[in-house]
Structure 1
Amino acid sequence: MVYKSFRLNFIFRIVALSAAIFLLAFVLSKNNYYTTASLIFLVIIYQIYEMIKYVEKTNRLLKNFLESIRYSDFTRNFKVQGLGSSFDKLQESFNAVISDFQKIRAEKEEHYFYLQTVIQHIGISLIAFHRDGSVEMINNASKKLFQVSNLTKIQDLESFSPEFVEALLKLKHGENTLIKVNDNDDILQLAIYATEFKINDRQVILVSIKNIQYELEEQEIESWQKLIRVLTHEIMNSITPISSLSNTLTTILDDFGMSNVSKFDEKDQETITEVKMALATIQKRSSGLLHFVDTYRNLTKIPNPNFSIFPVKQLFDNIHMLMKEEMKNRNIECSISIDPESIELSADELLIEQVLINLIKNSIHALEHTENPKISLRAYLNKRGRISIQLTDNGQGIIKEVLDKVFIPFFTTKPKGSGIGLALSKQIVRLHGGTITAHSIPDEKTTFTLTF
């Protein structure tokens, strides 16, 4: 008989067991009823087994419930039927707890996937690793920066930069550092910041890495422009009146000398001539300084680019047409390559053309004393998928001490150079959101790379 109440069922089993025990005692008190007593004893054993099994049903239910929590299996429902109202409430409580855990787990999973999405799509490179160099997490920005599909050990970045790996492994909590990396055609200024924390028994270092090369160059260019504005302003204010006064005095002396030529003896005329020559020298140098200042003003007056999309092949063809006669006269061999030929650039064609012409003229000057002079112009997609234009010559090259200064305004290695050509080129490229770098092996080759 199955009762709907656990209590009634349990009481019935106790009564039945008690009756069986009483009956066993009664039978044992009689002689010659051993077979009957044995059967009653077996019935008692069975009743005890069924009672234990019946009582432990609740324990099994609780055990399954706790295992569901332990192994995060919240897909089960607990059904307790036919055991009375108290067990119905237990069932409701169990299922309510499971439902709450399901909601909490769903929220945690949502938060986890949300954070994963943010980490993977954020523009700053992030790496989490242990002190032994084993990597726990690396986001897409880091993979793109280091050109790797996966990273298991920080030491695997030795090919990227040994100094960078050493700096990462030495960083402590709250420290930051700046590392310069020459990665083929790119110069990277990496700002690194480290945070160390503990998860369970694991010490984890979270490092953020950002390439601030663009920002540094912007600050450098802005500083140079401010300096040039101040210098040109002060020089113009000082030189302009000197030039004007010297011109005025020269005119006065000419008029005075013409009208009083008979009154001066030979010595006075020589003195007047010397004064006029001095004034002419002052005027000439003043005009030269004014021209010099006006030239450097160009560094602060670059027009905003007029962007358009055009084939790189068209750009190269125009430059080749403009420069081929001069290169032919100097017996310079020029080669052009574009890979792929369909590369198109979004830029101001005239400004980029001016940059390349300036670089070619510099190469022509560097090839003056070179046998078998060669210039190569190349366009390609670099390993980060960015458009690069590369100009290479086999001229005298640039020594390392000078190479770091070639883009500084006023600096020049030419006897009659103004020192604004490469500085101007750098500013034009920066206005296009790109970079220009120089690499040279003296007496072998020099390469300038424009990356957009």
Structure 2
Amino acid sequence: MNRFAIGIVVRIGGLFLLVGLATYLWLMRQGLITRSTIVPTLTMPLLIVTGLFLLWLVTNLYQYVTGINRKLTFFLESVRYSDFAITFNANNKLGPSFAQVNQQFNEVLEAFRQARAEKEANLQYLNTIVQHVSVGLLAFDASGQVELVNQAALKLLNTYRLRMLSDLEALHPDLPGRLTGPGRQAAFAYAAGQGNDLAIRTTDVRLRGRLVTLASLQNIRSELQQKEVDAWQNLTKVLRHEIMNSVTPLVSLTGTMQTILEHDIAENMPTDGPNAPVLTEAVGDLRDALATIAQRGEGIMRFVDAYRHFTTIPAPRLADVPVSALMQRVAALVRPTFDEQNIDLRVTLPDALRTIRADEAQVEMILLNLLKNAREAVERTPNPVIHFEALPDAARLTIRVADNGPGIEPEALEQIFIPFFTTKKSGSGIGLSLSRQMMQQQGGQLTVDTTVGQGTAFCLTF
């Protein structure tokens, strides 16, 4: 017999003894028992004491019998409310079977603790991944309450906090309707401003009976720009091929005609006679005409051949480039020219340890081109100032070249990155196109911000 059964027998036996004693005392109190060793005046106090002992024993028996139920209830409540910090004493006061029950309770709670810790670790791991992916992720329920949003989505939407989709109405009035409206598209493009052209895809997921919408946001501005550059490159290749195929034979034939003119016609032309002056003048005019054709043909060939660089940019050689040293070197190259024209060049360097992953030679070429453009933009500006500065933050670094020149007209702003477009009297019109293409190949961006009458700022974002 285990200890629990012994405890039950002992308590029931004690209960019967106390009931018998109480009955005996009560009978004495009623005078039904006259012969007794107990003093009659003590029957009432003894009856009260016996009753109290009897009540205590009944209560103890109830608690003793229902103790396992209380433990089971306590265990189930801890599971229900995910409180796995409690433990049960694995003792043998009630016997080995109860010790095994307590031990099993503790093992089950430990399994729950481990499962919850693993779940929290997985959620933390998943949340870290979600926060670090470059694609914006946004999850919201049917009421528009945002349940998940990562930093990429906040940056693309130009906001720092998002709790309800209605919070977007101030910046993007039509976006909440396109995400939740009855005519919602599974995939659509959206111009979010700040240089962000977004490709948005949505899908519905049912979680425990609730409908949750998951939206992914990706900035396709760089892809659109790359497609535009590819289109211009293909057009340039075709034009270059056709022009060279047409002009090269003309230049060659012009050279042949010049040889014939000099060696066959001019040498055998009569020097006297009535027609000699006319022939001499005609040969001179023909010589000038052929020379002009040859000169212009060779000029066209050089002009077209110069644009082969637009379609043959070498692949970048990426390395860790110290930004401060790079900017100091570029500033030293342009400062003599700036000083000659009394241009105030203001350089703001980042932390000396800050680096970017880029092709140093290409970035230097881009910066020199932007500074040259800024210098030309302020030629007629009183008190010209050019800012050459680094704007670092935690995730990226931006190098900014800003001037206080006349700015760029809106109609020209849309075309400045188009190959061969230029607002200058002299210039090829491919400098900015090449610069943007080189930045795209390095995973960066070249953007422009301008205000007519106040100035222009070009930004390289790495």
TM-score of the superposition, structure 2-length normalised? 0.75
Please point out which of 175, 188, 193 is paired with 2:196: 188
The residue identity in structure 2 corresponding to 1:111 is N
Counterpart in the other structure of 2:67: 57
CA distance in 2: counterparts of 1:443 and 1:148, whole angstroms: 30
Counterpart in the other structure of 1:32: 31
Counterpart in the other structure of 1:231: 239
1:245 is displaced (CA, Å) by 1.9
Q: Is the 8 A contact 1:13 1:47 kept in 2?
A: yes
Counterpart in the other structure of 1:337: 346
Return closer, same or farther for 1:371/1:98 CA change in 2, 3 Å cut-off: closer
CA distance in 2: counterparts of 1:450 and 1:96, whole angstroms: 59
Please point out which of 3, 8, 11 is paired with 1:10: 8
Counterpart in the other structure of 1:330: none
DSSP 3-state at the match of 2:307: helix
Counterpart in the other structure of 1:68: 78
Q: Is the 8 A contact 2:168 2:175 kept in 1?
A: no
Aligned residue pair count: 436
Please point out which of 312, 316, 327 is paired with 1:312: 327
Return closer, same or farther for 1:38/1:231 CA change in 2, 3 Å cut-off: same
Return closer, same or farther for 1:147/1:420 CA change in 2, 3 Å cut-off: closer
1:150 is displaced (CA, Å) by 5.6
Alignment partner of 1:392 is 2:391 = no
Which stretch shows the higher mean deviation, 377-386 or 29-38? 29-38
Return closer, same or farther for 1:335/1:178 CA change in 2, 3 Å cut-off: farther
1:19 is displaced (CA, Å) by 6.0
CA distance in 2: counterparts of 1:317 and 1:181, whole angstroms: 39
Which stretch shows the higher mean deviation, 301-310 or 230-239? 301-310
Counterpart in the other structure of 1:407: 417
Alignment partner of 1:321 is 2:331 = no
CA distance in 2: counterparts of 1:181 and 1:137, whole angstroms: 20
1:290 is displaced (CA, Å) by 0.9
Q: After superposition, what is the alpha-carbon deviation per residue over 1:362-400, rounded to whole angstroms, capped at 9, x for unaligned?
A: 4565556x56362423313255662423131423x3221
DSSP 3-state at the match of 1:439: strand
Q: Is the 8 A contact 2:186 2:201 kept in 1?
A: yes
Please point out which of 158, 162, 165 is paired with 2:171: 162
CA distance in 1: counterparts of 2:361 and 2:23, whole angstroms: 117
CA distance in 2: counterparts of 1:250 and 1:448, whole angstroms: 50
Q: After superposition, what is the alpha-carbon deviation per residue over 1:294-340, rounded to whole angstroms, capped at 9, x for unaligned?
A: 12112134456677642523422320213543x3xxxxx51121234
CA distance in 1: counterparts of 2:420 and 2:177, whole angstroms: 41
DSSP 3-state at the match of 2:260: helix
CA RMSD of aligned residues (A): 4.2
Question: What stretches of structure 1 of length at least 5 have no aligned partner?
Answer: 328-332
Q: Is the 8 A contact 1:188 1:213 kept in 2?
A: yes
Please point out which of 378, 381, 390 is paired with 2:388: 378
1:13 is displaced (CA, Å) by 3.9
1:426 is displaced (CA, Å) by 2.7
TM-score of the superposition, structure 1-length normalised? 0.77
1:176 is displaced (CA, Å) by 3.9
Q: Is the 8 A contact 1:131 1:169 kept in 2?
A: no
Return closer, same or farther for 1:361/1:72 CA change in 2, 3 Å cut-off: closer
CA distance in 1: counterparts of 2:147 and 2:74, whole angstroms: 34
Q: After superposition, what is the alpha-carbon deviation per residue over 1:57-76, rounded to whole angstroms, capped at 9, x for unaligned?
A: 12211122112212222233
Please point out which of 76, 91, 108 is paired with 2:102: 91
1:282 is displaced (CA, Å) by 4.4
CA distance in 2: counterparts of 1:189 and 1:304, whole angstroms: 26
Q: Is the 8 A contact 1:177 1:193 kept in 2?
A: yes
1:252 is displaced (CA, Å) by 2.2
CA distance in 1: counterparts of 2:260 and 2:348, whole angstroms: 67
DSSP 3-state at the match of 2:244: helix
Counterpart in the other structure of 1:241: 249
Please point out which of 118, 124, 128 is paired with 1:117: 128
Alignment partner of 1:255 is 2:263 = yes
CA distance in 1: counterparts of 2:130 and 2:308, whole angstroms: 45
Q: Is the 8 A contact 1:312 1:345 kept in 2?
A: no
CA distance in 2: counterparts of 1:257 and 1:281, whole angstroms: 19
Q: Is the 8 A contact 1:373 1:394 kept in 2?
A: no
Return closer, same or farther for 1:110/1:424 CA change in 2, 3 Å cut-off: closer
DSSP 3-state at the match of 1:115: helix
CA distance in 2: counterparts of 1:25 and 1:358, whole angstroms: 114
Which stretch shows the higher mean deviation, 66-75 or 210-219? 210-219
1:278 is displaced (CA, Å) by 6.0
Question: What stretches of structure 2 of length at least 5 have no aligned partner?
Answer: 34-42
CA distance in 1: counterparts of 2:112 and 2:359, whole angstroms: 60
Q: Is the 8 A contact 2:156 2:196 kept in 1?
A: no
Counterpart in the other structure of 1:283: 294
DSSP 3-state at the match of 1:320: helix
Q: Is the 8 A contact 2:18 2:53 kept in 1?
A: yes
Q: Is the 8 A contact 1:358 1:421 kept in 2?
A: yes
Q: After superposition, what is the alpha-carbon deviation per residue over 1:194-238, rounded to whole angstroms, capped at 9, x for unaligned?
A: 444455576544444444444443443344333323332332233
Q: Is the 8 A contact 1:311 1:345 kept in 2?
A: no
